[in-house]
Amino acid sequence: MGTDKHNLLFSRIIDQALPGLSNKLSAGKTEKSVITRLEEGTEGLMADYPGLGYPDAEMLHNRLAVAIHAVARKQRESRQLNVLRSPREEKGLKALTRQLTYEDQFSPNWAGNTLPDAIDSGHGAVAYLYDLLAFVKKEIEPKGDSDKAITLKQRRPDIYNILLNEENVNGNISKIQIINEIISTAISQQENSEDPEKLMLNVRYPYRFPFENYMNQIYAVLDEYDLSIGDIKRHCDPQAPYFTQPGLHGTNSDSALWLDSHLGPGLREILLAVPQVKNSQAEDNTPYFKQNFGVEQFTDLLNSTVFCQQLKLERSDLERLFSCGEYVPHLSVNVDPKTITGYTTEQGGEVSPAVYGSVFINNNVSPAIKIDSDTSDNHAFENMDESRCERIERFLRLSRALNLPYNELDTLLISVIRAENNQVDQGLTITGNTLRAIGLFVKLNRKLKCTVSQFSVLYDGITIYSQGKNISDFDRLFNNDDRFNYRFVLDDKKMEERDINRICSVFGINYDTFSYLALLTREVLGLEVLTRSRNVISAIYRPVVLADLLKIKPLELLALLKSMNPDAQFDRLFTGIPENRVYRVFEQADITSAISALVSIQAWRTENKLSVAQIFNWITPAIVDDQEDNTERELFRQIKQNIKSTLFSNEVLYLAGAPKDINWVSVLHVLVSEQGILKDTDDGLDWESYKPYALDIITQSVKKELTDISSEEQGNIINTILSVLLEKRSTQWKNVSGLLEGYLGNKTDSIIPALYWCGSNTGEFLKNILDIPDDNMLSADGDNIMKLLSSLRRYSEIIAHFRLEPAMMSQLLSHDNNQRWYELKTEKPDLQLLYRLSVYRGLIDDGKQPAEKLLNYLSLINSLPIDSRSDKIRLYRDQALNKLSLFMGWSINELLTAAQYVAPENAIIRTLPQILLVKQIHSVCLKTGMSARSVISLFNLNEDSKSSLYQSVADQVMESLAPQDVSLYSNDESSQGDLTVSVSAGKTTLLVYSENQKEEQTAEDETLLTITLQTLESTPLEGIPVLWEKISEQGELSGTESTTDKSGRASMTLKAGLQQGVALIKAHYGVKNIPLPLIRIDCDISTLGATGNETVPKNPVDIPADGKTQVEITTFFRDSYDNPGIDKNIRWETTGGRFIYKDGITDDHGTCHAILVSDEPADITVRAFYEDIPEEYTEADISFISA
């Protein structure tokens, strides 16, 4: 359609949509077609016709859309109606002449008679599809090269197989479903029918391949919670966090940084592979270029047009890649060229891309790759060779993976590799160490928004080059502020005072901070004076940059480094020449480990609300001022004054009732000092253990000193002395803790544990105070007290901050318990101790039960003997998991998975560090919703893991997102999943064994008690020791221990014994116990009967019948062995009178009592019998007479 026709059509549309408007419009452009105007939208119409308002433009645009659709449909219908029908297949005479038909006579419009939404409609979707297919086949495909063109039927054969029915034509189908069907059809045409994911892993071109879908699956979950695989590895590593390690690294620390990069194993393999091509004509590099560039040979890439087409690069991308055109690099005008080795260009002049901008792809070798456009129209590359093509390939893959511009990626790579090669630019090769540092950058960028410019300062230094019209980082910092009236130039000359002021202003630090950083820089770089050089400025700037990222001050950053290892001098890593090197054995750190440790410690510090000053003061030895002030003097005076009333003395004991002829203070010298101060034991924090310890010593002393009095009197004196001693001990504790609370400003319950932590105790502290002369506080003892107070302040602050319970401190400070249960170094605080205490606090706060449950668990599980018997270990394991599950609120199945990882030898968690590691795994599971198995599988990934392992882990991660069955957890211990335990008894009633039976040599009655132990899967547990305990006095056990057999049964015989009653027996297995059925030990009921009676008065004759005079009757019940019938129901009967009292049950002697009175004179008979045997009775005759 010509321009005139388009303009005419457009004018007609305007007249129909907006009558009279065409005369008022002045078109800026009249050569556009109607279709072009429709595509440009309302904005295009308003731009072409300045007088057109938005409402009119929108109305006109809608009208254009209707007109275009009508014209398109008309043309489509015209093409369909012009198709000639196939000739009729007629035979005989009908084939010789044309017959009249209805269509010939009337020419009906069949298409116009169909419904608009019918499949056979001429305006429907089917007609449109058919028209498009016909148009492509007849108009487009014939114009292509028959040898090279790919037809639509070859490209999309699935279109021609679509079934045209109502469901496919009118149904709603998502785009995802359509795409999946297209991809499925393409995959099904593969001849080798290989797994599609494996195919996509093996493809190298284009660079969006290899496609590692498992990485997408894993990070679809982790990205939701701002986590990486490296974070998972650090959460689950027993050696983490690495700032607690002497060298700031552990076995898995480097792997964690590798995995922070988000690079899959396929891409890592490409980046780390040895060079695949060589610059030699003898080498056949065709397979490499075909696989990685999609061309037959290297020379094809020398054409810049082909190069851009193959790598999907725009012109601007090419200039960025090779640092040419608008991105030519140049040196800062404020840098003296003489200070740069090998630099020959004038100040501020252009430099080679091999020096800055495209250093990696040129391997820092000049001349650099450039484009020569002078010879012909086809722009060709100069200085391009095969090895540089391979570097370009790896560079582009990494740029795509990290989503970094080419100039920033080059800066990142070169700064890291220079730190790896001691600042030498030769051999710029990507190594595993390079990817380790890149992983750190990805981590810092994700968590702290760290830029490439900031990161390059940490590994190399401030950039003095720039590209195009941009200015260098050095000039941006130092020469981009109008407030300064001179330029700061790097010329290696001595730094002046104004330069120092400039640095402080630019870096945002004060003079004190600069002085300390300058001192370190001079020491590390070996300088006598500071110079205006890139190395010096960068060394001072590194702590400032990292501190700014971490939101702390530079000196605080250096304090944190010192707290990690006071002797390691980690601060020298930042103020010297950066080193990027992996250490595994030596307790030495590089810049990568140091930065990672600082990020971790800052996150931990913030989470636990700890200041840098607190951490530094707790860990580094305190400087004690030997000149105490009035505060300490007043403290000592008050302690001396108040302690007098709390001393343990003979006078106090005499007043309490102890014998006065004995010097009890001297006798009890083990417990009391001569001054009357109570001595503490190693376990003095445990009040319950101190009491029996003191009682034993007092008992021995009293019995030794008082041999001529009765044992009862000895007991009274022992109790008196013990009572006074415990009271005085409590008073002394309260006195010390109360005064020290006011001095230290901490809570009272943290004072005494802190004293023990310092290696002292209440008794020793009071003794030292009393030994200090009043007139010479600065004696040697006074100096020791000052050191003790300094340590006491530190330890009490730690206890108060982490809210450590006294019971926990008692266990922690016990040498044996600490070695076996806690595995913490308490001699002096370090970061590992503080970190584990913080995790312990979180464990207790998040626990479903009180802290005592956990402490009891540690005590119980470590008291059990763990041997090599599998069933025995399984029993302990299942019961330990049961208790931990109740405490943590985690299902046993998940907890078992974590326990198998933490304690692989038997899955029995016995120490606090193991519990804390399980807590870390549980936290990740709660945060992400993943199972423990998935989290541990992610931890097991490392830099050498194959793609198949990643795929397996990804499948586990996706499966774990399904709803988990947590039915095995309940906060009720009775419903918590455990072993299947059953108990039984052969019989529940035994005949008591009497003296008569012994004389007759009758066998003692007994029963067999049985406990059966099985796992949750009903598997019998063999070889499990069961301890039997008799709780009651009744019954006699034949032994105290037995072992389960192959059926999981353990038995013990219970004999009747000499005492009637109920025998209570418990069976202890592992860490739990279960009561047995109650066994009643009784007389022989079958022969029980009344054996006689007694009355009071003894001869009840002529008893006044006044309703007041009483006759007491006592009846005796015995069996045939003369055993008393205890707790038996007795019935009383009388022929007259009335009972004012009668027992219905026999007492422990087998007797029963009744009291009878009478209101009328009569001779009566009283009968008593056991209700189950009425024929065995006894009678008493009583005669009442008139009063």
- Tell me what pLDDT residue 22 has: 63
| Residue labelled with tokens 């050095």 | 474
Do residues 215 and 228 make contact, with C-beta atoms less than 8 angstroms apart? no
Rounded-to-5 percentages of helix, strand, coil across the chain? 50, 10, 40
Do residues 771 and 822 make contact, with C-beta atoms less than 8 angstroms apart? no
Asked if residue 1075 belongs to a domain, the reply is: yes
Residue range of the domain that includes 1018: 979-1081
Q: Which CATH number belongs to the domain containing residue 1035 in this structure?
A: 2.60.40.10
Same-domain pairing of 9 and 105: no
Query: DSSP secondary structure string, 46-97?
Result: HHH-TT--HHHHHHHHHHHHHHHHHHHHHHHHHHHHTSPPPPP---GGGGTS
> Which residue type occupies 177?
Q
- Tell me what pLDDT residue 558 has: 92
Nearest residue to 462 via CA among 484, 479, 485: 479
Give CA angle at 1150 (1147, 1152), nearest 5°. 65
Residues 6+ apart with CB under 8 A from 13: 34, 60, 63, 64, 67
Residues 6+ apart with CB under 8 A from 1184: 1103, 1104, 1105, 1136, 1137, 1158, 1160, 1161, 1162, 1163, 1164
Q: Report cis status (omega within 30 of 0) of the bond before 367.
A: yes
Asked if residue 387 belongs to a domain, the reply is: no
Same-domain pairing of 140 and 62: no
How far apart CA 75 and CA 63 sit, in angstroms, is 19
Nearest residue to 329 via CA among 461, 471, 456, 468: 468
Asked if residue 765 belongs to a domain, the reply is: yes
How far apart CA 819 and CA 701 sit, in angstroms, is 35
Asked if residue 910 belongs to a domain, the reply is: no
Do residues 530 and 567 make contact, with C-beta atoms less than 8 angstroms apart? no
How far apart CA 667 and CA 538 sit, in angstroms, is 73
Q: Report cis status (omega within 30 of 0) of the bond before 1097.
A: yes
How far apart CA 200 and CA 398 sit, in angstroms, is 18
Same-domain pairing of 649 and 742: yes
Do residues 372 and 379 make contact, with C-beta atoms less than 8 angstroms apart? yes
How far apart CA 727 and CA 733 sit, in angstroms, is 10
Half-sphere exposure of residue 508: CA atoms within 13 angstroms, side-chain side? 10
Asked if residue 672 belongs to a domain, the reply is: yes
Calculate the CA dihedral of residues 390, 395, 397, 401 and round it to 10 degrees.
160
Query: Which tokens in the block code for residue 22?
Result: 């065409």
Calculate the CA dihedral of residues 478, 480, 481, 487 and round it to 10 degrees.
60
Same-domain pairing of 1047 and 1104: no
Same-domain pairing of 1178 and 1136: yes
Query: DSSP secondary structure string, 244-285?
Result: GSTTS--TTHHHHHHHHT---HHHHHHHHSPP---S-TTS--
What is the total residue count of the chain? 1187
DSSP 196: H
How far apart CA 526 and CA 698 sit, in angstroms, is 70
Same-domain pairing of 791 and 669: yes
Do residues 1082 and 992 make contact, with C-beta atoms less than 8 angstroms apart? yes
How far apart CA 740 and CA 290 sit, in angstroms, is 80
How far apart CA 361 and CA 1130 sit, in angstroms, is 109
How far apart CA 1126 and CA 651 sit, in angstroms, is 54
Mean pLDDT by 10 residues, the chain (1187 residues): 65 72 57 75 79 81 81 70 54 64 71 72 78 84 80 82 81 81 72 70 80 88 90 91 88 91 91 75 71 84 86 87 89 85 67 90 88 63 87 92 92 91 76 92 93 93 90 89 83 89 91 91 89 91 94 92 84 87 80 93 92 88 57 75 78 83 83 80 65 83 82 84 83 77 71 76 74 60 70 84 84 69 79 90 90 86 70 77 88 88 87 91 90 91 90 87 48 48 87 78 86 78 85 88 88 89 87 85 87 88 87 90 88 90 88 91 90 85 86
Of 54, 81, 108, which closes a domain?
81
Calculate the CA dihedral of residues 289, 295, 300, 305 and round it to 10 degrees.
-120
Phi then psi for 39, rounded to 5 degrees? -70, -35
| Residue labelled with tokens 């929108």 | 58
Tell me the torsion sign for CA atoms 817, 821, 823, 826: negative
How far apart CA 295 and CA 541 sit, in angstroms, is 47
Residues facing residue 1055 across a β-bridge? 1006, 1036
Asked if residue 113 belongs to a domain, the reply is: yes
Of 147, 170, 193, which closes a domain?
170
Give how many domains the chain has, as a whole number.
5
Alpha-carbon distance values, 256 to 262, 302, 943 (Å): 11, 40, 9
Same-domain pairing of 136 and 54: no
Its pTM stands at: 0.73
Of 1081, 1116, 1136, which closes a domain?
1081
Asked if residue 632 belongs to a domain, the reply is: yes
Same-domain pairing of 1003 and 1128: no
Same-domain pairing of 628 and 734: yes
Query: Which tokens in the block code for residue 369?
Result: 């790759």
- Please name the residue ranges forming H helices in 660-814: 664-667, 687-705, 711-744, 751-757, 762-771, 780-802, 806-812
Helix 213-222 to helix 229-236 angle (10° resolution) is: 60
Query: Which tokens in the block code for residue 1181?
Result: 């005759």
How far apart CA 743 and CA 808 sit, in angstroms, is 25
Query: Which tokens in the block code for residue 908?
Result: 């029995």
Asked if residue 1059 belongs to a domain, the reply is: yes
How far apart CA 826 and CA 987 sit, in angstroms, is 56
Nearest residue to 257 via CA among 707, 512, 570, 591: 591
Do residues 740 and 753 make contact, with C-beta atoms less than 8 angstroms apart? no
Same-domain pairing of 661 and 782: yes
Same-domain pairing of 1073 and 1097: no
Same-domain pairing of 1075 and 1089: no
Greatest C-alpha distance within the chain = 158
